[in-house]
Homo-oligomer: A and B are copies of this chain.
Amino acid sequence: MPAKDDTKKRFWSYEQVHDAIRHGVCDKRMFDDFVPTLLLAIGGGGYIPARIARTYLQHAYKTKVTMQAVGLQLYDSEMDGCDVSSSTVRVTQWLSYGEGAGHVTLSGQRILIVDEVDDSRKTLAACVATLQADIDAQRALARAAGAAWEEPDVGIMVLAYKERPKLAELPAKIMKDRYWSCIDMDDCWCVFPWDAFDIYDHTRLAEGANPDQLPATAAERAAQSKPIMVTA
């Protein structure tokens, strides 16, 4: 890994994130063959892309898809200096299936896992494996009970596919035609707006400003954004 100062950074504005997802879902029509019934947002990075994807799925496919969040953290014995290559993935939150009349079955679902970046691929692979274990368990239960079972379909959408060596593999059937990235990019450091301290400076960087020429004062920055009321 290069020293952090040598890593290329790509700053993303919120508008760039939002519009990349619009482009994927509405212009490229990525999901014509797989209209999701359930979105799985991988937290925390996938929360925002998943929420935006839900908006565009509704636009493009007239479907209000259910969304749940899951938590998966890369960790090793030294969290602060987490070495991705040796780390494992811990599940901190998982799908709620409910009980009784409110029970959510995986049977027949088209489940779209959403994350912001396909980086080392370890989180995505762990998410798929955890989901597959639940699918296997629900299938076995359904068969034992003589109940109907339709094999669910699992796909992945990432805001950005990053070209770099992957440290985990995804199932071949997903890579074949159930994997979508809104943008493909070289291996560089993504700086997302939700991590920004000063969002106005951040947006300017994303839009190509010279870092030396950002507004000097907070008042200047705040003046860029004026909430208003309009009557519909």
Give the interface of A toward B (CB within 8 A). Answer: 4-16, 18-19, 22, 41, 43-44, 47-48, 50-52, 54-56, 59, 66-69, 71, 90-96, 98, 102, 188-189, 193-197, 199-200, 203, 205-208, 211, 222, 224-232
A55 pairs with B194, CB closer than 8 A: yes
A189 pairs with B232, CB closer than 8 A: yes
For the complex, what is the distance from the CA of A225 to the CA of B230, rounded to whole Å?
25
Shortest distance between the CB of A52 and any CB in chain B (Å) = 5
For the complex, what is the distance from the CA of A200 to the CA of B226, rounded to whole Å?
15
For the complex, what is the distance from the CA of A197 to the CA of B69, rounded to whole Å?
23
Total identical chains: 2
- 8 Å CB contact of A43 from B67, B199, B203, B229: B67
For the complex, what is the distance from the CA of A59 to the CA of B44, rounded to whole Å?
17
Contacts of A203 in B (CB 8 A): 15
Contacts of A98 in B (CB 8 A): 91-92
> A5's closest neighbor in chain B, by CB?
B232
Contacts of A56 in B (CB 8 A): 197
> A54's closest neighbor in chain B, by CB?
B44
A-B contact pairs, 9 of them (CB 8 A): A6-B232, A9-B230, A14-B14, A15-B225, A41-B47, A71-B96, A90-B102, A92-B98, A207-B225
B205 pairs with A230, CB closer than 8 A: yes
Contacts of A94 in B (CB 8 A): 96
Shortest distance between the CB of A5 and any CB in chain B (Å) = 6
For the complex, what is the distance from the CA of A9 to the CA of B229, rounded to whole Å?
6
B69 pairs with A196, CB closer than 8 A: no
Q: Closest 6 CB pairs between A and B?
A: A69-B69, A14-B14, A93-B96, A47-B47, A18-B199, A208-B228
